Every structure is written in C-alpha cells, then in structure tokens.
Amino acid sequence: MENTNYEKALAKSYDDLKAVFAYYPIHPKSVKLLDTRGGRSKWLIESQEGPMILRQEYINPKRMLFIAGAHWHLQNNGLPIARLIPTAQGSLCLSGGDHVYLLYEALEGEPLLYYNKQHMIKAMKFTGAFHHASEGYLPPSGSKRRTRIGKWKKLYRWKIQELEDNKKIAQKDPEDEWSRLFIEQVDRMLKRGYEALEELDQSGFAHWTEASIRSGVFCQQDDTMARMMIKNGQAVMKDLHSITIDLPARDLRIILNKLMKKLDVWDTDTAVDLLRAYDSIHPLSKEQYRVLWTDLKFPHLFCAIAHKYYLGQKKSWGDEKFLMNFRKIVSVENSKTEFLSQLDPIYQKIKEGSADG
C-alpha cells in the first residue's frame, strides 16, 4: 500500500499541483516530493517567497480545520513554530475531495535528540511554552474537536480490562517465553493500574479538568521530538500534526516515558531536571503534579506493548524483538517505583530550581 501511495504522490508533479497553488499567494519555482506514508504526503516547494512545505492528508476537513486553527492560534501567541500560510482568501487549510492541504514555511535546524540532555531540557521548555500558548483557543466555526479530557477513567478501565484478558491468554501457554515473562509482571502492573484508577477520584483531577476546559488548553496527540528541531538555540516545531483537548499532564507523561524507554531505566535525576525546565515556563501546582504522578503510575508502556503483541500490530517484529522491547519496558516501569513514592521532595526540587531559572 505504501509503495502505491508513494507512486501516486510522486506522479503528482508541478503541473498536477498547479490547481492547489492557485489558491495560495505564492509563486512556486520547483516541487520535490519529500515523503509519503500513512495517508500523508509532503512536498518541498521552492518559491520566490522562500522554501515551504505542502502537506496533503487524507482526513476529515473539519478535523483538519481544528488542527490548523490551533496552529494559527499558537503562531499568533508567539510560539516558535513554522509559519502557517493561509490561502489568498484567508483559509487556514484547503479541502480537495477526500484529502486536505496545508502550506507552511520550511525550517532548517539541528535535529533534536532524546539522548542529548540539553536538547531534552529545551524540548521541555518548549512544551511548557506550547501549553501556555494554547490557552484561550477558540476552534474555528465548523471545525470538529478532538478531546480526551474527562475520558481518563474510561481509558484506564479499557486498558485494565485488556490486560486482564491478555493475562488469561498467557496463562493458557505458560511454557511460551513471552507468556512466562508476561505472567511474572502482569499482576504488579494491574495493581498499579487499579490504584491509578482510584486516584482519579481525588479532587485535584476534577479541578484541573474543569480549569482546562475553561482555559481552552490543548495537548499534542502524540508528543515526539521528531516534529521539533533546534534553531537559533531553542526548540522550534516544524509542523503540527494533531492536537487533542486534554490535561498538560498527558504530554508530560508521554515525553518522560519515551525518554526513559530509550534509556532502558527510569532516571529520577533526569526526570526532575526536565520537569524543572517545564515548570520554569508553565508552572504547575502540587495538585496538578499529583495528577501527573497518577498518570505515570498507570502502566501505559506495559499496556501498549501487550496490545501490540496480542493484536499482531508489529508485523516486522519477530519474537526476539518483542521480548527485547518487553524487557526494556518492564525495567522502566519497575524502576519508576521509587520516583513515584517521592512526590513531596521532588515537587520541592522542581520549584526550587524553577525559582532560580
């Protein structure tokens, strides 16, 4: 399927895209296909106005308008993000049948790396600026919102139930290496999952949810360093692929879990430094950090790899690769325990550092 998509996108030459360019106030000189996958294609446009990226996505136009509106909101609030270029009529995106186009400036810079601590600190400061700049967002008329706020309990219950079902499957084949390792760990992960679910009844979660709904704050759908770069000494966003209305804790949990998975173990000192960097830009209360601790306690990483394994989502992964990644995730989830037990002292460290910086 990807080869077919690539061939179709490659065949969409300058002449084929003329109808798209006619809607924009630019004068293209050349067009180069950069990438096509997952229903998304990108072209580099060299124009008299400078280099730009044209992105085509197969997505509901109302959903894309919601994302493009958020991009425009962030841009106008001063976030360092690639400049979105509206059509000549002022539209933020262009609908073309079953797909949508976005045009924005092409940025050049240094790759942002997970293994570079200074890069990660810049990324966390950017995330703080992102959440701060997102506040007050009023989606364009006719757009379709994506929201996860208020749905955490439902998500937790669904993931817990899936683990319970996966446990029954593993128990039927206890001699299998994956099943043996999974059975060794699953009860511990289920215990943490049920504890996290109960903690969502605490007042801090409800208060933050209500405040976030009022403020209009949003998160990235899946926060990743691949969409950022270092330019002029700071992290900048190359493009905005998706957003969801949710608590900022979601992005923080995803970033921290991704980094620690790459390190193969939970590094508390690094986590403190990164949260301190975030808090220096977008301070959180102790109640809000307690919600983050709850989301970090929930075994999202463990649930995710079990989901991939039992649904056969990683066709290219053999048994050895699954086992390797499973052991890595177990290491991260289990080594996180000490961090989760130290909210009070860690909160003090975060705030002491934020006051200095």
How would you classify residue 39: left for phi > 0, otherwise alpha for psi between -120 and 50, otherwise beta? left
- Residue 8, pLDDT score: 58
Which residue reads 């924005």 in tokens? Answer: 104
- Residue 232, pLDDT score: 92
Taking alpha carbons only, the member of 322, 262, 331, 343 closest to residue 299 is 331
- Residue 69, pLDDT score: 97
- Residue 133, pLDDT score: 98
CA-to-CA distance for 7 and 333, rounded, in angstroms? 42
- Residue 357, pLDDT score: 47
- Residue 17, pLDDT score: 86
- Report pTM: 0.92
Taking alpha carbons only, the member of 156, 126, 147, 160 closest to residue 209 is 147
CA-to-CA distance for 263 and 239, rounded, in angstroms? 26
Q: 140, 69 in Cβ contact below 8 A?
A: yes
Helices vs strands, H then E, count in the chain: 14, 10
Taking alpha carbons only, the member of 240, 253, 238 closest to residue 196 is 253
Q: Which residues of the chain have pLDDT under 50?
A: 1, 355, 357
Q: For residue 187, which phi and psi values (nearest 5 degrees)?
A: -65, -40
Count the alpha carbons within 13 Å of 200 in the hemisphere toward its beta carbon: 21
CA-to-CA distance for 279 and 356, rounded, in angstroms? 11
Give the model confidence (pLDDT) of 250-291 as tens digits. 999 999 999 999 999 999 999 999 999 999 999 999 999 999
